Amino acid sequence: MNFDFTYENPTTIHFGKNAMNNLEIELSKYGDNILLAYGRNSIKKIGLYDQIITICKKLNKNVYELSGIMPNPTYEKVQEGSKLVVENKVDLILAVGGGSVIDCAKAISVSAYCEGDAWTKYWLQFEPVNNKIVPVGSVLTMVGTGSEMNGGSVITNEQMKLKIGRVYPFNVNPKFSILNPEYTYSVSKYQMVSGIFDMMSHLMEAYFAGNDDSVSNYIIEGILRSVIVNARKAVENQEDYEARSNLMWSASLAMNPIVGLSKAQDWEVHMIEHQLGAYTDCAHGMGLAAISLPYYRYIYKYGLDKFVRFAKVVWGIEEKDKTKEEIALAGIDELERFTKECGIITSLKDLGATQEMLPLIAESTIVLNGGYKELTKEEILNILKEAY
């Protein structure tokens, strides 16, 4: 507990098989005009779209639609949504989907009434939000980002080849989020395991920084242990309700940001992945996994005791006659074995990167200094080459 902090989280979570029963009462708190934001057809396939439209009709809501939100949502899409919000005096943006859809909804929420170019103001210059914010609610169908219970929003500017994330103040959080683990059954195994690594990365990037003995470290270790157990069960049987529900709630907690309060944090892996994503459009969690392994093998010696602790507590590595270095590396080996077991892709080549892209990704990556080692661009390039 090194730093002072202020924590609040105004998101109401409705969790479980009957969580959708709360949508009607939540919607009735807002005005008549709803923007329904979603991705492609999956919410229609699983019947969610019809269910929501029925509730909206019952409440005499006017429903406008923003469909086709893509996995790495673009600023162009944000502009399209902002236009719809202003034209139709939208009272609530209802995001139905995964983190990308919710991230896009939050970006629209802050951008719609922004004077001037929102990208410049809010993403490039990180200015405080001083215009009207349109409330967002969410129905979650894909697990990993934690966007359902925080103010984070990651948007890609395709023209500038930049993928930039920002955590907005608490009033940008979804007002409510509906989490029914059964809605996540239809997501492909590829996307499921990508989301699993995403939540693990959120936990590890908060963990691998600083020398504090904050309670946050202990909580992170606990959630990681649970994620590992439940990921294995979910890979075995994607319809294991207990496993999917534990993973769903773990993802919300991991990026809440209640678990990492008052401690140093890293987030360099996310920075590198954002630029990887801007160039390749790869699944976010897969990109994180590919970068994490060589990254941790490179930086572990700068935070040796923490990597030893990780190996022992999270992976159960026994000391026996090992050196600290050997214990630390054995922990990272276990992490790698786990990714393989889950079918997580950890080669940048297989994720669509070309060798020519690597220097461009390295050069455009934001360098942070919260972790155990502040990287040079050359070190980032080496890590990318290791991950290739």
Sign of the CA dihedral running 243, 246, 249, 251: negative
Residues 224-253 close enough to bind a second copy by CB under 8 A: 225-227, 229-230, 241-242, 245-246, 249-250, 253
Q: Show the tokens assigned to 260.
A: 């990492």
In the bound state with a second copy, the residue whose beta carbon lies nearer, of 6 and 60, is: 6
In the bound state with a second copy, the residue whose beta carbon lies nearer, of 86 and 229, is: 229
C-alpha to C-alpha distance for 287 and 223, rounded to whole angstroms: 22
Q: Is 18 in the site for a second copy (CB under 8 A)?
A: yes
Least Å distance, CB 2 to a second copy, is 8
Phi, psi angle pair for 46, to nearest 5°:
-90, 10
In the bound state with a second copy, the residue whose beta carbon lies nearer, of 9 and 382, is: 9
Least Å distance, CB 157 to a second copy, is 33
In the bound state with a second copy, the residue whose beta carbon lies nearer, of 251 and 293, is: 251
Nearest to 10 by CA among 147, 149, 130: 149
In the bound state with a second copy, the residue whose beta carbon lies nearer, of 13 and 348, is: 13
String of b and e for 286-319 (b: at least 16 CB within 10 Å)?
A: bbbbbbbbbbbbebbeebeebbbbbbbbbbebee
Q: Is 25 in the site for a second copy (CB under 8 A)?
A: no
Q: Is 147 in the site for a second copy (CB under 8 A)?
A: no
Q: Is 106 in the site for a second copy (CB under 8 A)?
A: no
Q: Is 258 in the site for a second copy (CB under 8 A)?
A: yes
To the nearest 10 degrees (0 to 180), the angle between helices 241-254 and 215-236 is 150
Least Å distance, CB 224 to a second copy, is 8
Give whole-number Cα distances, 376 to 83, 90, 186, 268, 365, in Å: 41, 45, 41, 11, 10
Residues 197-216 close enough to bind a second copy by CB under 8 A: 212-215
By CB under 8 A, name the binding residues for a second copy.
Answer: 1-19, 22, 181, 212-215, 217-223, 225-227, 229-230, 241-242, 245-246, 249-250, 253, 258, 261-262
